[in-house]
């Protein structure tokens, strides 16, 4: 009698489709954001082909007895920084579930690492599907299909913040959410 083997399907094989569905949620206007999309800038970036979407697998791999990394996050950041993309969205491949408490610490770690390696002009924003940040019951991050790492220039993010500050975008956010955004 032959032993049956079950193959486990990799959850990252259709990652771009899942990310694009999530972007559909982010680019849809919502009352919680003053009638604006949760992320008003992602739609135009997608439409213009200016958003790099890729995976990042932090797991170490062994090659000929030596532990190496196939691609570090800094390799991915360098590729983005040298590209014509306006921002990057990296799907972090991991079997480990990052808690909502880990998000800010990890984000701070990435920002510090970028600064120490000559990428201080860039900023990281992490989107953890386990985050519990909501506006009137809607949690945009909770819809993320994976743990996502967004990289953009500090200049672009500052301009985006300035534009949003002149709208009703932040009006429905509670103090906890505003504090999380450092607002």
pLDDT for position 67: 53
How many structural domains is the chain composed of?
1
Q: Is residue 8 part of a domain?
A: no
Q: Is residue 54 part of a domain?
A: yes
Rounded distance between C-alpha atoms, residue 139 and residue 30, angstroms: 11
Q: Is residue 53 part of a domain?
A: yes
Residue 109: which H helix or E strand, with range? helix 100-116
Using alpha carbons only, what angle is made at residue 90 by residues 59 and 148, rounded to the nearest 5 degrees?
A: 90
Using alpha carbons only, what angle is made at residue 117 by residues 111 and 120, rounded to the nearest 5 degrees?
A: 50
Q: Is residue 9 part of a domain?
A: no
Q: Is residue 89 part of a domain?
A: yes
Rounded distance between C-alpha atoms, residue 79 and residue 58, angstroms: 16
Per-block mean pLDDT, blocks of 10 residues, the chain (183 long): 49 82 97 95 96 84 59 90 97 83 91 97 95 90 95 95 92 80 66
pLDDT for position 177: 76
Residue 85: which H helix or E strand, with range? none
Domain ranges, residue 58: 15-180
Rounded distance between C-alpha atoms, residue 164 and residue 43, angstroms: 15
- Read off the pTM: 0.85
């Amino acid at each position: 009698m032959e032993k049956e083997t079950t193959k486990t399907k990799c959850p990252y094989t259709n990652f771009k489709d899942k990310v694009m569905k999530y972007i559909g949620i982010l680019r849809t206007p919502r009352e919680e954001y003053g009638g604006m999309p949760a992320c008003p800038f992602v739609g135009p970036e997608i439409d213009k082909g200016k958003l790099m979407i890729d995976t990042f697998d932090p797991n170490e791999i062994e090659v000929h007895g030596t532990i190496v990394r196939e691609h570090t996050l800094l390799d991915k950041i360098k590729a983005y920084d040298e590209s014509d993309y306006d921002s990057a969205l990296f799907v972090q491949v991991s079997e480990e579930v990052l808690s909502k408490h880990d998000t800010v610490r990890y984000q701070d770690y990435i920002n510090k690492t970028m600064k120490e390696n000559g990428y201080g002009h860039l900023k990281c924003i992490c989107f953890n599907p386990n985050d519990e940040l909501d506006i009137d019951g809607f949690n945009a991050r909770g819809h993320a299909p994976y743990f996502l790492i967004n990289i953009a220039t500090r200049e672009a993010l500052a301009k985006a913040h300035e534009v949003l500050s002149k709208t009703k975008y932040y009006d429905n956010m509670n103090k906890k959410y505003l504090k999380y955004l450092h607002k």
